[in-house]
Amino acid sequence: LIELAPATDSKEIIDGSKGLRARKILDFENYGALPQKQAKRRDLAREIRSLINQKFPEFVRWQKSGLSGLSGFWLDKAGRSQLWLEKITRVQ
């Protein structure tokens, strides 16, 4: 997930007043930028599900889906891969 949505996608995360550089943390590749838009998070979830299916077929065979057991990932009623919340306003 961090590789697919790297922190370097966000100027605020890298160079903001509370960003990584301000904290003297310079290994940016170890951090991610979770998209604000649900559609983008859904795209990421779909891509990760596809990667899991390719790389861990034995695991997937015995699960409801490749996302089973992955914290923060889930399937909606239509069977689409989802990542984290549908609406961020619930926590902000």
Kindly identify the residues of this chain, within the stretch 12-41, that bind another protein according to CB under 8 A. 12-13, 16-20, 22-25, 30-36
Q: Which is nearer to another protein, 49 or 82 (CB)?
A: 82
- SS3 label, residue 9: helix
Kindly identify the residues of this chain, within the stretch 42-71, that bind another protein according to CB under 8 A. 64, 67-71
- SS3 label, residue 6: strand
Residue 8 interacting with another protein (CB under 8 A): no
Residue 5 interacting with another protein (CB under 8 A): yes
* CA 84 to chain CA centroid, nearest Å: 8
Radius of gyration, alpha carbons of the chain: 15
Torsion sign, CA atoms 29, 30, 34, 39: positive
Binding site for another protein (CB under 8 A): 1-2, 5, 7, 10, 12-13, 16-20, 22-25, 30-36, 64, 67-74, 82, 84-85, 88, 91-92
